[in-house]
Structure 1
C-alpha cells in the first residue's frame, strides 16, 4: 500500500491514477495531520510526501513518522515544486526520506523509483523472514544440544547406578561365599541379578532409541493370542513385584496381528512405571477392552499422578518431570519408544492423569496389521 500526501487534490488524482493503473494499491491524505492519523492505524510500504503543505510540512511529518514503530520499514519519497537545492535535499534525507523528486513529476521516473522501493521492500521482508527462521533454527539446535548433553549426563548416571550396585553386591557376595553363608549368598546373588536386569533394560532402551533415530527399528508382525501373552506376562511381573497387587480385568480374547515382543515391551513399561510412580499403592489395575476391530489396553495406578502440562509432553523424547527426576530414576525415553511402537502398529497412545490421584496409561491398536 502506497500513501500519497499532498494538499493539492489535482496532484493526488494524477499520481493515484498512474499508480493504480500499474497495479499498486493507493491511499491518500491532503494534510500532514491526516497522514499521521492514517499511519498510526495501518502500515504502508511507501509514502509519497509533498514537502510544502500548510500546517505540518513534509519534513515535519517525516520526522514524526520516524518515531512510529509501525512505520519503521516504510520508505519516503519527497515531492516539491521548489527547485532542489543542497539544503533542501539535506533536510529531506535527515528527516528520514530515502529519495527526492521535483515537480512537475516525471511519471516514468516516479514509477521506476516506486517499483525499486517495492522490490527492496519485498527483499527486505524475505530477508527478515529468513533471519527469523534462522534464529528459530539456531535456538532449536541449541535446545537439541542442551537436551543431548542432558541426556548423556542422565544416561551416564543411570548406567553408573546399577554398575556401582553390582560391584558392591559382588564384594558382599564374595564375603558370604568365603563364610559359606549359603542363604546370604543367594540373597545377594538375586540382588546382583536384579541390577543386571535394570542395566539390560537401560541398554535396550539406548539401542532402541538409536534404531528409531536411524529408521532401523525392526518389527516382526504375526498373529498371536494377546490374552495368553498378557496373562503369562502378568504372572511373571506379579512374582517379581509381590509388594503390589496387579488386578487384571480381561475384556479381549481375539487374535491380534502385531509384533508380540514389542507390544510386551510397551506393557512392561506401563506396569513398571505404574509400580515405580505409585510406591505407596497396594494395587494397580490392568484392563483390556474389545472395541470391535480395535484392542484397548490400559494400566491404572493410584500414585503421584501428573499435571495437564506434563501429560501433554510425557511421550516426548528425553522428557522427564523435574519434580520427580531426583526421586525416580529413568532416561526419559521409555514412553517415547512405546509411542513409536504403538504408532508403527497403526495405533494411538495416551494418558489420563490427576495430580496426587494417579494415572491411566493406555494404547489402542487395530487387531489386523496395517504393515505391508
Structure 2
C-alpha cells in the first residue's frame, strides 16, 4: 500500500485517483502528524511525501519514520515545488529517500518510478523469502545430520551389545560341551538365541528405515482375522514376559484386508514399549474395537508418560526421549516405522499421555480397503 502525504487536499485527491486507476492501493494523510500516526498502525510499501507542510515538514517526518523499527526500511519519495535547490534535494536523499521529484510532477514519470520501485521491492521480497527458506533448510539439514550422527553412534552400540553377548555365550557353550553338561548347554543356547533374535530385530528395523527412505517398503495385503492376530501376539508377549499382565479389552469380530505382518509389527511395538517404559508397573491394556468401518487398536500402559512437546516428536525418525535414553535401549525408529505402516494403510496413529501417569498409543485403519 502507498501512503500519500500532502497538506493540499486537491493534490491528494488527484494523485490518489491516478494511482488507483493503475491498481495501486492508496492511503492518504493531510499532515506530518497524521502520517506518523498511520505509519504506526499500518504497513506501507512506499510513502510519497510532500516536503513543504506546516508544523512538520517532509524532512522531519522522514527522520521520525526512520526511528520507527516497524517502518525504518519503508521507501520514501519526496515531492517538492518550493524546495528545488540542490541542497534540499541532497538533504532529501541523505534522509533516506528513494527519490526526490520536483513539481510540477510528470505523472507518467512518477508512475514509471513507482512501478519500477514495486518491481524492485517484489524482487527484494522474494530474495528475502528465498534467503529465509535457505537458512531454514540449512538449519534443518544440520539438525538431520546431527540426529543421523547420534543415531549411527546409538546403532553401533545397540548392534554391538547382542554381538558381544552372543560371543560370550559361545565361549561358555564350548566349556559346557567339554564338561558334558547338557542342561547348561541348553540354557546358554536359549540365551544366545534371544540375543540373535534381538540382533535380527535391530537389523530388520534398520532395513525398514532404509526402505521407507527409498520408497521401497513393500506391503502384502490380504484378508485375516484381527482377533486371531491379537490373541497370538498376546500369547507370545506373555510367554516372554510372564510377570507382566496384559489385559485385552474388546474384540474386532471381523476380518480386515491389510498386511498382517506389518499390523502385527505395529501392535508388538506398542506392547514392547509399554513393558519397557513401565519399570514400576506390571500391567498394560490392549483395546480392540470397530467403529464406523474402522479398526481401532490401542495399548495403554501405566508407566513414565511423556510431556506435551515429547508427544509431538515421538513418531519422528531417530527421536529418543533424552531423560530416558540412558536407561532404556533402542534406536528411536520403531514408532517412526509404525507411523509409516499405518499411513500406508490410509490410517491414523497417535498418542495420549500424561507425564508420570502412563501413555496410550493408538491407531485406526479402514476395514474395507481397496483389494
Q: Which TM-score applies when normalising by structure 2?
A: 0.92
Distance of 1:177 and 1:317 partners within structure 2? 44
Unaligned runs of 5+ in 2: none
Equivalent-residue separation in structure 1 for 2:299 and 2:329 (angstroms)? 20
Provide the C-alpha distance between the structure 2 equivalents of 1:316 and 1:258, rounded to a whole number of angstroms: 24
1:265–1:113 distance in 2 versus 1, CA, 3 Å:
same
State yes or no: 1:311 paired with 2:308. no
CA contact (8 A) 1:169 1:191 kept: yes
C-alpha separation in 2, matches of 1:298 and 1:30: 67
- 8 Å Cα contact 2:247/2:286 also seen in 1: yes
- The aligned residue for residue 123 of structure 1 is 123
Gaps of 5+ in 1: none
Quickly say closer, same or farther: Cα 1:233–1:112, change in 2 above 3 A: closer
2:357 match: 357
Offset of 1:355 from its aligned partner?
2.4
Distance in 2 (CA, whole Å) between partners of 1:109 and 1:24 is: 16
Is 1:346 the counterpart of 2:324? The answer is: no
Contact 2:317 2:332 in 1 (8 A): yes
Matches within 5 A, 1:316-327: 316-327=316-327
Structure 1 residue 41, shift from structure 2 partner = 1.6
CA distance in 1, matches of 2:229, 2:74: 69
Partner of residue 219, structure 2: 219
Residue 83 of structure 1: how far off its partner (Å): 6.2
Superposition pairs for residues 1-372 of structure 1, below 5 Å? Answer: 1-82=1-82, 84-291=84-291, 293-370=293-370, 372=371
How large is the RMSD of aligned CA atoms in angstroms? 2.1
Moved over 6 A (4+): none
In structure 1, what is the Cα distance between the partners aligned to 2:194 and 2:137? 43
Q: CA offset at residue 237 of structure 1?
A: 2.2
Q: What is the distance in 2 between the residues matched to 1:202 and 1:150? A: 16
1:134-169 per-position Cα deviation (integer Å, ceiling 9, x unaligned): 222222222222222222222112112212222222
CA pair 115-165 structure 1, distance change in 2 beyond 3 A: same
SS in 2 for 1:312: helix
Indicate conservation of the 8 Å contact 1:221/1:369, yes or no. Answer: no
Work out the CA distance in 2 between the residues paired with 1:136 and 1:169: 50
Residues 25 and 318 from structure 1, CA distance in 2 versus in 1: closer, same or farther, beyond 3 angstroms? same
Deviations 1:109-155 (A, max 9, x none): 22221222222222222222222222222222222222222222221
Q: Structure 1 stretch 14-23 or stretch 210-219: which is displaced more?
A: 14-23
Distance verdict in 2 for CA 1:186–1:69, change over 3 Å: same
- Please report how far the alpha carbon of residue 200 of structure 1 lies from its aligned counterpart in structure 2 after TM superposition: 0.6
Contact 1:294 1:367 in 2 (8 A): yes
Change (3 A) 1:96 1:315: same
Summarize the Cα distance change of 1:112–1:249 in structure 2 as closer, same or farther, 3 Å threshold. closer
Distance across 2 between alignment mates of 1:293 and 1:83: 79
Post-superposition shift, 1:325? Answer: 0.8
More deviation, 241-250/94-103: 241-250
Quick check: 2:52–2:83 contact (8 Å CA) kept in 1?
A: no
